[in-house]
Copies of this chain bind each other. A is one copy, B any other.
């Protein structure tokens, strides 16, 4: 019934309006059916003019629906008829542009340029036809690759052909191999290039989060837009001379990168990392706190590959004798401040050595070498534990009876009562944050968005995760500010539902989605989500009672307000 309504809606809107529709699997299925009937195709073509194929294929691309109806052959056969496509088609030698020139084209007025595999594309005309809507503007001035990793359906021959129509030049060779060897007196001179879509909270050190509206579009977050939280400049580490030192055990150990990769079995796991300050901006609305003003996206999910910390500690002589004296494993980064002090943190020894703790010395992220911003060549991945303990650019591991003495372990990343202020705070009184509490947030719709009354329902999406390996078992969603609740559908795994991990080892987030009917007389919706983990921990209802002076651990129910737009044409 709703499906038919939507199909009906499609027949009456021009291509410029397509992207306004929420593209659900049901709509995609409808679109596939349209394409599989010659009569339907002609009817749709009449409604949408020459660009009908772009609009429809784009609609499919945005959903992940499989294009199984022979579109490609039809497209080839009819290509000659489409004068617009012919006009743009270019195959001969093209001008060379620098990344800077590309970056200057980030608006409909100046043109919207993107790069892809060394090519430069002017997609200005396509922007209004993109079924994902404004999201395409996030790629403006930069590479498409991370977005296409997000929306895997783009990687089809069909979409590549469509893109080729917009090619206007080649990216300079110098920009293709990114210049990471710049030297200067700026301690941040070896920081890498970053993706322009990132929302920057701080440039030096670099701290940025992905746009929240695309965060839950992909189970695995592409590395380029994975949230970045650096405390210090990114160190330039030479992989050939890199050494990892292990101290505090009977047999002290120094490993080259090659030795780390070859002497120990490689393990991979998918784990979500979250900054302790994720959603801090909501605490700032209650009362100003100290810290970066993170939105809801200081959290991302990746697949990590590396040696198990446990195996390395055993190789260095870890045994029961050690456990009787030591309680902590400290990590030192190679990133330094101007005084030479390195970043540092520690985790409990039992997490480090347990077979079920799954702590990695990771040298791969999403199947590739770690990017510079994520700790190249080696970082610690402590699944289930706050980002701050997942030390990047790892230089040293120290097994000790003491926690790390670093500022970030002792005087930061701790939670306090809302009544504690900077005059009364005693950092020794609170434990260092390790496992994080249950968390969830709404990624779609965005706060302040509008939905059409005629849609009759609203689809809400988001993420949910809990620390300590506790699996998210339920997400409740309300569209009336928390009075009544619906249970969302959970999605785990990159390629569809996966079985539950063993108890206590659920390291990755779950994405969720629910479609709720619009309350008949509401003019505004307050959409709320709250998650539950398998220890039945719940999120607190409101922010003020969990407010704390550092603005960490912000995990109250997430709320967005949405207006309902009366659709006059339907009345």
- Interface set of A (CB-CB < 8 Å, partner B): 327, 348, 350-351, 356, 415, 417-420, 430-431, 433-438, 467-468, 473-474, 476, 482, 484-487, 502-504, 530, 532, 534-542, 545-546, 553, 555
The answer to whether B535 and A437 have CB atoms under 8 Å apart is: yes
Q: Which listed residue (B348, B542, B553) contacts A536, Cβ 8 A? A: B553
Roughly how many angstroms separate A430 CA and B546 CA in the complex, as a whole number? 28
Q: Which listed residue (B348, B420, B436, B540) contacts A540, Cβ 8 A? A: B540
The answer to whether B473 and A430 have CB atoms under 8 Å apart is: yes
Roughly how many angstroms separate A536 CA and B436 CA in the complex, as a whole number? 6
Shortest distance between the CB of A382 and any CB in chain B (Å): 13
Shortest distance between the CB of A530 and any CB in chain B (Å): 7
The answer to whether B532 and A545 have CB atoms under 8 Å apart is: no
User: How many monomers of this chain does the complex have?
Assistant: 2
The answer to whether A538 and B540 have CB atoms under 8 Å apart is: yes
Roughly how many angstroms separate A467 CA and B533 CA in the complex, as a whole number? 13
Closest-by-CB residue of B relative to A276 is B536
Roughly how many angstroms separate A348 CA and B327 CA in the complex, as a whole number? 26
Q: Which listed residue (B348, B474, B532, B535) contacts A436, Cβ 8 A? A: B535
Roughly how many angstroms separate A495 CA and B153 CA in the complex, as a whole number? 65
The answer to whether A534 and B487 have CB atoms under 8 Å apart is: no
Residues of chain B lying within 8 A (CB to CB) of residue A438 = 537
The answer to whether B437 and A538 have CB atoms under 8 Å apart is: yes
Shortest distance between the CB of A201 and any CB in chain B (Å): 22
Closest-by-CB residue of B relative to A538 is B540
Residues of chain B lying within 8 A (CB to CB) of residue A431 = 473, 534
15 sampled A-B residue pairs with Cβ under 8 A? A348-B502, A350-B356, A415-B474, A417-B485, A417-B486, A417-B487, A418-B485, A420-B487, A430-B474, A434-B503, A434-B534, A538-B540, A538-B546, A541-B542, A541-B545
Roughly how many angstroms separate A60 CA and B467 CA in the complex, as a whole number? 47
Residues of chain B lying within 8 A (CB to CB) of residue A535 = 434-437, 467-468
Closest-by-CB residue of B relative to A435 is B535
Q: Which listed residue (B503, B537, B542) contacts A537, Cβ 8 A? A: B537
Shortest distance between the CB of A1 and any CB in chain B (Å): 22
Roughly how many angstroms separate A433 CA and B415 CA in the complex, as a whole number? 28
Closest-by-CB residue of B relative to A539 is B540
Shortest distance between the CB of A352 and any CB in chain B (Å): 11
Residues of chain B lying within 8 A (CB to CB) of residue A541 = 540-542, 545
The 10 closest A-B pairs by CB, nearest first: A541-B541, A435-B535, A348-B503, A419-B485, A437-B537, A538-B540, A537-B537, A437-B536, A417-B476, A536-B553
Residues of chain B lying within 8 A (CB to CB) of residue A486 = 417, 419
Closest-by-CB residue of B relative to A474 is B417
Q: Which listed residue (B419, B476, B487, B539) contacts A476, Cβ 8 A? A: B419
Shortest distance between the CB of A531 and any CB in chain B (Å): 11
Roughly how many angstroms separate A124 CA and B348 CA in the complex, as a whole number? 57
Shortest distance between the CB of A550 and any CB in chain B (Å): 12
Closest-by-CB residue of B relative to A467 is B535
With A502-B350, A504-B350, A545-B485 known as contacts, the answer to whether A476 contacts B418 (CB < 8 A) is: yes
Residues of chain B lying within 8 A (CB to CB) of residue A482 = 545
With A468-B535, A474-B417, A485-B418 known as contacts, the answer to whether A350 contacts B436 (CB < 8 A) is: no
The answer to whether B419 and A484 have CB atoms under 8 Å apart is: yes
Shortest distance between the CB of A197 and any CB in chain B (Å): 31
Residues of chain B lying within 8 A (CB to CB) of residue A356 = 350
Shortest distance between the CB of A512 and any CB in chain B (Å): 13
Roughly how many angstroms separate A438 CA and B537 CA in the complex, as a whole number? 7
Shortest distance between the CB of A343 and any CB in chain B (Å): 22
With A436-B536, A535-B437 known as contacts, the answer to whether A350 contacts B503 (CB < 8 A) is: yes
Shortest distance between the CB of A86 and any CB in chain B (Å): 56
Roughly how many angstroms separate A417 CA and B485 CA in the complex, as a whole number? 7
Residues of chain B lying within 8 A (CB to CB) of residue A437 = 535-538
Roughly how many angstroms separate A380 CA and B546 CA in the complex, as a whole number? 37
Roughly how many angstroms separate A486 CA and B416 CA in the complex, as a whole number? 11
Roughly how many angstroms separate A468 CA and B437 CA in the complex, as a whole number? 13
The answer to whether B417 and A536 have CB atoms under 8 Å apart is: no
Roughly how many angstroms separate A546 CA and B553 CA in the complex, as a whole number? 21
The answer to whether A532 and B415 have CB atoms under 8 Å apart is: yes
Q: A417-B486, A437-B537, A538-B555 are in contact. List 11 more A-B contacts (CB 8 A).
A: A348-B502, A418-B476, A419-B485, A434-B535, A436-B535, A437-B538, A468-B468, A530-B545, A536-B553, A538-B545, A541-B542
Roughly how many angstroms separate A538 CA and B530 CA in the complex, as a whole number? 13
Closest-by-CB residue of B relative to A328 is B503
Roughly how many angstroms separate A316 CA and B504 CA in the complex, as a whole number? 25
Residues of chain B lying within 8 A (CB to CB) of residue A545 = 476, 482, 485, 530, 538, 541
Roughly how many angstroms separate A476 CA and B327 CA in the complex, as a whole number? 29
The answer to whether A351 and B415 have CB atoms under 8 Å apart is: no
Closest-by-CB residue of B relative to A488 is B417
Roughly how many angstroms separate A351 CA and B537 CA in the complex, as a whole number? 19
Roughly how many angstroms separate A474 CA and B546 CA in the complex, as a whole number? 12
Closest-by-CB residue of B relative to A553 is B536
Roughly how many angstroms separate A350 CA and B505 CA in the complex, as a whole number? 11
The answer to whether A415 and B536 have CB atoms under 8 Å apart is: yes
Roughly how many angstroms separate A327 CA and B505 CA in the complex, as a whole number? 14
Roughly how many angstroms separate A487 CA and B416 CA in the complex, as a whole number? 9
